[in-house]
Amino acid sequence: MRKHEMVFMMTLALSAAACLSGAGVRPYRLYPPAPQALGPEQVSTLALIGGGTGVTRGQIGLTGTQFVDDKDVSSLGGYFELLPGCHIITTPTPPWSRYGGGAIAARWTFALPMRPGHQYRIEVRPGAPMWSTGRFTIQGYESDLRGKQTREFEPATSPKDIEACNKEAGAYAK
């Protein structure tokens, strides 16, 4: 790995860690006000993390409109707090992926059965060789409050994925 690629990857990792740990950044609450403040063990957090160039609205390289449960959150940054349950996350195609060969999806949809006290992130990363072919990967991850990764998620491919999310999340949704 070349030096500038190593620096880029370390910067991306540190940005993600700072975002997920809440280091000076407060997540935007995407739920109605509660009579009492909810603690981190009662809510789920979501971070949208991309792998492009530049920082746009609290994200790295993700531009355009993002939706969380059909709500446009594009002007709210890339770090959110939600109540546990099934949440549908829609992300745009990063601008750098439009170059090179191959079919490009207009956006990706994730059906995430979010558990209380867990952190979720959706990462878009360029594939090798970087930038020249437009290849990239997109993946969803779940971590517990200690930061231990507990699950991975692929984009939803059919309504059955959303049904499965709702069924799983029914056990811990309030």
pLDDT value at 106 more than 50: yes
Q: Could you tell me whether strands 55-56 and 59-60 are parallel, antiparallel, or unpaired per DSSP bridges?
A: antiparallel
Question: What is the spatial order of strands in the sheet that 85-92 belongs to?
Answer: 71-72, 67-68, 85-92, 107-114
The model's confidence at residue 68, banded by pLDDT at 50, 70 and 90, is very high
Cis omega (within 30 of 0) on the bond before 129? yes
**87: pLDDT strictly greater than 80:** yes
> Any idea which of 13-22, 51-60, 153-162 has the lowest mean pLDDT?
51-60
User: Do 97 and 108 touch, CB atoms closer than 8 A?
Assistant: no
Cβ contacts of 8 within 8 Å, gap of 6 or more: none
* Residue 146 lies in domain: 3-169
Of these ranges, 28-37, 59-68, 132-141, the one predicted with the greatest mean pLDDT is 28-37
Residue 71's SS3 state is strand
**Whether the Cβ atoms of residue 112 and residue 86 lie closer than 8 Å to each other:** yes
Distance, in Å, from the CA atom of 174 to the CA atom of 114, rounded to the nearest integer, reads 11
Query: Does residue 22 lie within any of the structural domains?
Result: yes
Return the pLDDT at 13.
Answer: 43
**Is 174 inside a domain boundary?**
no
The domain tally of the chain equals 1
pLDDT score of 136: 65
Locate 71 and state its tokens: 């709500």
**Residue 149 vs residue 4, higher pLDDT:** 149
Residue 12 lies in a domain: yes
Contacts of 137 (CB under 8 A, 6+ apart): 123, 124, 125, 127
Query: How do residues 8-24 score in pLDDT, each as one tens digit?
Result: 343 344 344 444 444 56
Predicted confidence at residue 9, as pLDDT, reads 41
Calpha distance 8→51 (Å, rounded)? 9
